[in-house]
Chains A and B, each alone.
Chain A
Amino acid sequence: MSDTAAAHESHGHHPELGFIRTYIFSLDHKMIGRQFLFMGLLMIIVGGLLAMLVRWQLAWPEAPVPGLNFIPEPYIYPGENGGGIIPPQTYNALFTMHATIMIFFVVMPIMVGTFGNFLIPLMIGTGDMAFPKLNMLSFWVGAMATVVMLASFVVPGGPAAGGWTSYATLAAKGQYTGVEWGQHLWIISLLILGVSSLMGSINYITTIINMRAPGMSYFRMPLTVWSLFITAILLLLALPVLTAALAMLLFDRVAGTSFFLPEGGGEPLLWQHMFWFFGHPEVYILVLPAMGVTSDILSTFSRKPIFGYHAMAFSMIAIAFLSWIVWGHHMFVSGMNPLLGTAFMMTTMVIAVPSAIKVFNWLGTLWGGNIRLTSPMLFALGFVSNFLIGGLSGVFMASTPVDIFIHDTYYIVAHFHYVVAGIVFALFAAVYYWFPKMFGRTMNEGMAKIHFVLTYIFFNGAFFPMHFLGVGGHMRRIYNPMQYEFLMPMQHWNVFITISALLLGASQFIFLGNFVWSLIAGKKAEQNPWQANTLEWTAATPPPHGNFEVQPVVYRGPYEYSSPEVKEDWLPQDKNLGASTTARAH
């Protein structure tokens, strides 16, 4: 380890590079991280706007949406007094693309792409990723996948409309959805994205195994790095399964095969098994980095070591292992043998335990702290609070009999938004926390706090009442709730949710404004504005190509806040207190 680190140090000097090599085809992990961030933020606007249209239709079915009449028929129909009416086919495309974009083109690029790239080398104390060229390729292949996915909006027939799960047989034959090229491009885009993710994950794993600074043992790594390490391993193993399934689906659509089509001897449930065998690890690919980031931020601003560091690391490892044997809980009423449902219920109940351990340890971290309620801290606490609700609501659907009723209802929609959309709280926490290191400027703290308060209120306003709808039996993915007598008495909740969602969307302009303004004119950032311990804060702000002037040496774990060894309430990982303390293990 120390050999590679030393070898790496020798190419620490980087010549001046031109504009293109610095900003576009950059090999610098920090620039690639920023590129992923800008791409992800661009896509969150697209994904968010799609959600607004979905919500509009559910609250005021078939009422014209103002300003939407620029889209031609048959995708949008003109309203009598202006605006555009969303037809059912377009509605299906809207929620399909909303989920696809938010999962694959927002949460993955930002949580894994941005923070993985930016933080891994800095936090483990090395100059760059193990394979900088592969890293650059990973971004540009990802960008290509994004372009293909966006292109599917403008092909004849519109984008994919079979749900982000693209269940066979619906998505396996054009005639069933009426979408030909949109669904082809959806598949092709995700095939390309899989290549990008594979390159990224190989890079992360290699870098973390081989390039840690001297003294940075595995159990001195920040939990953010642990979470990204485990995420990369899950990505490496899960993505090929999706790739295989997608290829089979594409062949069924264009080459006349019958992997998933019963008329040719295929099996529609095979798609579900393959999709969720990838899909459930995928959920943890999305949420683990959020957990890691949250752990670091809670510890920093509680001025206190993380509670149960080893329990935190091992619970993530446990989640990673268990995530491979729970996929069947998406399929309790799918028609698979009910005995399998019983088995998957058992494993699903078990995976709730490490998640609970994490929440309790976050609480333990707050206990006895000296808590600073900065904007990253508020968002991290928001993540914990949402994850708590999302985790607890998951117990209902883990129970097979209860799932009979709530499966495919808004109860599920509420549950996964508390978990997956809840990740945006960790995302914002991370942006506010590392923005100074990333861009050398500080974001406006007052605006950030207003952003938090509004986001927290409207997030819960938008997603909590979905539980009520679900308990009432409100199906997901329906175009018009007013077509059902038993749903009519609950329609006021749909209106309430939509208004909250619109306000949630509007509140994000505060973030957007703060982000852009701070990027251009924010106050110059200090090297270590949060008085944090991890190695990225010992690098210059922003860190130059190559990161560290001198190879950092690590003497202790990342969470030595309020240590009795020093007067200050923080103790950086690389601070040498003299020979007597260097051997002190975490």
Chain B
Amino acid sequence: MLSWLPEDVSTYGHEIDSLFYLIYYITGATFILVTALMVIFLIKYREQPGRRATYSHGNTTLEIIWTIIPAVILIVLAFMSASSWAKIKRHVPNTDFELRIVAKQFNWEVNYPGADKKLGTDDDIKFDNDLHVPVNKPIRLVMTAADVIHSFFIPNMRFKQDIVPGREIVGWFEATKPGRYELPCAELCGFGHSGMKGWLFVHTPEDYQKWANENLAPKAQ
């Protein structure tokens, strides 16, 4: 298989990637076939003195063939896509790891639950642009926008979700490899859109615990 897409570090990314490459093979073959025929016809049937074009208005059998074959291929692709789509976007797995993202011009505000273990309360612990998560654990994101539409995009995680003001949008991912991954905004959000980005830090469970102890532990009052 080709490997043009950025490294995939998510549990569901391979489904996206294999669909991408499957479509690439199908469309690539179609492109080569049509282009080759076009070039062959242009050479073979170029104007020559004394020759007369074939007087033909078409061929119904051919019309039926080239209607049905693409239709079948496309419908099969649609069904294959539908099951991956449901897995990625429609069914959020149960998890006890939940974060709240507030997108605003031009920052990702990341909220971790505070001492009360609940999100959306006053003691939430906020970070700008940095998102720390453990590896191999489904992460549930509850996303809201404060001003305009932003799009939370983690290329390596094959995650993209627009965040719309006035809505609470839920998404999820599960990282398979520790590392540091860029997190740009993918929807035009104003003059500061370019450069609106953060980092996703995926830690081993031990490293994550260490980070959490240092940063999420209730501060001594």
On A, residues with C-beta under 8 Å from B are 87-89, 91-92, 161-163, 167, 169-170, 176-178, 262-263, 266-269, 302-311, 333-335, 338-339, 341-342, 345-346, 349-350, 352-353, 356-357, 359-361, 363-364, 366-373, 381, 384-385, 388-389, 392-393, 395-396, 398-402, 404-405, 407-409, 468, 471-473, 475, 477-480, 483-486, 559, 561-564, 569, 586
Contacts and interface: CB of A to CB of B under 8 A. Distances in A.
Contact of B160 (A178, A396, A405): A405
B16 A176 contact: no
A400 B186 CA distance: 17
Interface of B: 4-6, 15-16, 19-20, 23-24, 26-27, 30-31, 34-35, 37-38, 41-42, 45-48, 51-59, 62-63, 66-67, 70-71, 74-75, 77-78, 81-82, 84-86, 88-90, 105, 147-149, 151, 153, 155-156, 158-167, 169, 182, 184-195, 197
Nearest to A394: B27
A350 B197 contact: no
Given A349-B74, A398-B74, A480-B194, 15 more contacts: A262-B166, A303-B52, A308-B58, A333-B161, A342-B86, A346-B82, A352-B74, A357-B63, A363-B34, A368-B45, A371-B46, A401-B84, A405-B5, A407-B186, A486-B182
13 contacts: A89-B191, A307-B57, A307-B59, A309-B58, A335-B163, A392-B30, A395-B74, A399-B19, A471-B4, A473-B5, A475-B186, A486-B156, A561-B55
Nearest to B90: A338
Given A345-B81, A363-B37, A373-B42, A268 B191 contact: no
The 6 closest A-B pairs by CB, nearest first: A262-B166, A368-B54, A479-B194, A473-B155, A308-B58, A392-B27
A363 B55 contact: no
A484 B164 CA distance: 24
Contact of A408 (B165, B182, B186, B197): B186
B85 A401 contact: yes
Contact of A381 (B30, B38, B47, B161): B38
B53 A370 contact: yes
Contact of B38 (A338, A363, A401, A485): A363
Contact of A373 (B23, B46, B48, B81): B46
B58 A170 contact: no
Contacts of A267: 166
A305 to B, nearest CB: 5
A88 B192 contact: yes
A144 to B, nearest CB: 29
A396 B158 CA distance: 15
Contacts of A178: 190-191
Given A302-B45, A483-B197, A473 B63 contact: no
B27 A372 contact: no
B46 A170 contact: no
Nearest to A372: B47
Contacts of A485: 182
A304 B53 CA distance: 6
B38 A170 contact: no
A396 B193 CA distance: 26
Given A349-B75, A385-B38, A480-B194, A334 B164 contact: yes
A368 B42 CA distance: 10
A402 B16 contact: yes
B66 A402 contact: no
B66 A360 contact: yes
Given A367-B45, A399-B81, A480 B189 contact: no
A291 to B, nearest CB: 16
Contacts of B31: 388-389, 392
Nearest to A343: B82
B90 to A, nearest CB: 5
B54 A369 contact: yes
Contacts of B51: 370
A176 B19 contact: no
B35 to A, nearest CB: 7
Given A269-B164, A372-B47, A401-B88, A366 B41 contact: yes
A471 B5 contact: yes
A393 B188 contact: no
B81 A401 contact: yes
A388 B35 contact: yes
B180 to A, nearest CB: 9
Nearest to B195: A483
Contacts of B56: 304-305, 307, 368
Contacts of A356: 66, 70
Nearest to A400: B85
Contacts of B81: 345, 399-402
A167 B24 CA distance: 31
A401 B81 CA distance: 6
Given A352-B70, A408-B186, A333 B160 contact: yes
Contacts of A311: 58, 63
B9 to A, nearest CB: 13
Contacts of A372: 47
A408 B151 contact: yes
Nearest to A564: B55
A475 B165 CA distance: 21
Contact of B195 (A335, A346, A399, A480): A480
B112 to A, nearest CB: 23
A484 B197 CA distance: 8
Given A169-B165, A176-B190, A569-B53, A353 B71 contact: yes
A92 B190 CA distance: 8
Which of B54, B85, B167, B195 gathers the greatest number of chain A CB atoms within 10 Å? B85
